[in-house]
Amino acid sequence: MNSHIFRIRIVLLVLSLIVLGPIAGSAKVPKKPLKCVAPAYLKPGDKVALISPSYYCSMETAFRAADTLRSWGYEPVIGPNVGKQYLEHYAGTVEERLADLRWALKDPDIKAILCLRGGYSTLHLVEGLPLKKLAASPKWLIGYSDITTLLSMEACAGVMGIHGMMGCNIAKQDSVNVQQSCTLLRDLLQGQVPRYELPAHKENILGRATGTLVGGNLATFAPLLCSQVNEIGQSDIILFVEEVEETHHNIDRLFNMLKMSGVLAHCKGIVLGDFTDCENDVGYESVEAMLRQYIEPYNIPLLCGFPAGHEKLNLPLVIGAPVAMEVRGDGATLTFDISGEQREVRP
């Protein structure tokens, strides 16, 4: 072979490896384990910031959420830009929403950050918030749905956060299930760590696993794999996902993205939460049955029906925490290996 052509081919091969990654079937490069610190639990009188990093939230709701925080023994501080509205839905411009988040992270007196609501647009904040800003002063960040972005960024920065009820929920505790979810969030912030005992589900896959809990809303989590948070799914993880108002074929597409990006290959176990108002347009009996076909080949445990997501019963999960899951024929257990008083919870 002509030496010049050979050199060209070698250069092309190296470039393809850089762009496309390792050749299929080659050994995976081990990733650095995802290890997160737990922020300090709250004490009476601690300050809690209320911010709206996603969709618009009214000042009335913010004030009512603040009243609830006071009843829990904390001092609420409402972000300077809360109540602003931009382009109908957004809670201010990107810079205004970023400013409130930066303020809450930087203020040493603020010990936790409660997001007022989700919606869409935290993805706009990713490039404007270096991970080191989240790691500089560990504090509990709380929310779900679109707040999955910020929880994932925190975990990638090495800080645990709470997937749980937001300000709009604690402001209007209009059912027993919402009240229970808010009470568990309050207790977790005080150091009472839930140990969940769940009923059996016909789509469960039996087994035991340990890993770092990551995930949240599927449509919010999947795009993060193209951002600075892309390594969150590249270590030994327990993946949690939930969804709302998506068709089954869109859920299938999003889960396929996790498979093709290599996230599923790093999962030691998977927890499926609620799939609320999701249209069945492909013919599977359920979302759980559809996703199980992707999970079975990995020989890992699957826990279905965990009550977290967009239903009124939305139990708090510590994202970034080391967890142990055990799925048995008669039920399942999910345990957080973090400091605090362990407390059994049976939904």
| Per-residue pLDDT band at 31 (split at 50, 70, 90) | low
pLDDT (0 to 100) of residue 12: 40
Kindly report the number of other CB atoms within 10 A of residue 144's CB atom: 28
| Per-residue pLDDT band at 21 (split at 50, 70, 90) | very low
| Per-residue pLDDT band at 7 (split at 50, 70, 90) | very low
One-letter amino acid identity for 298? Y
The pairing of beta strand 267-276 with beta strand 237-244:
parallel
DSSP symbol at 54: S
Q: Is the pLDDT of residue 237 over 80?
A: yes
Cα 94 to Cα 122: distance, rounded to the nearest angstrom: 9
Return the bridge partners of 195, or none.
335, 344
HSE of 328, CA atoms in CB hemisphere, 13 A: 9
Cα 298 to Cα 150: distance, rounded to the nearest angstrom: 28
pLDDT (0 to 100) of residue 16: 39
73-93: pLDDT as tens digits = 999 999 999 999 999 999 999
Spatial CB neighbours of 60, under 8 Å, sequence gap ≥ 6? none
Return the bridge partners of 155, or none.
none
For 277-340, give the DSSP string.
Answer: T----S--S-HHHHHHHHHGGG---EE---S-SSSS----EEET-EEEEEEETTEEEEEE-SSS
Query: Average pLDDT in the 258-265 region?
Result: 94
Q: Tell me, yes or no, if the pTM score tops 0.85.
A: yes
Q: Would you say 239 and 273 are in contact if contact means Cβ atoms under 8 Å apart? A: no
Query: Average pLDDT in the 150-171 region?
Result: 97
Sheet with 47-51, side-by-side order of all strands = 75-78, 47-51, 110-115, 140-143, 161-163, 317-319
Kindly report the number of other CB atoms within 10 A of residue 149's CB atom: 29
Q: Is the pLDDT of residue 197 over 90?
A: yes
DSSP symbol at 89: T
HEC string of 179-231?
HHHHHHHHHHHCCEEEEEEECCCCCCECEEEEEEEEEEEHHHHHHHHHCCCHH
Least confident range from 17-26, 76-85, 287-296: namely 17-26
Q: Is the pLDDT of residue 50 over 90?
A: yes
Q: Is the pLDDT of residue 130 over 70?
A: yes
In percent, the amount of the chain with pLDDT more than 90 equals: 84
Here the tokens at position 33 are 């384990």
For 246-284, give the DSSP string.
Answer: --HHHHHHHHHHHHHTTTGGGEEEEEEEEEET----S--
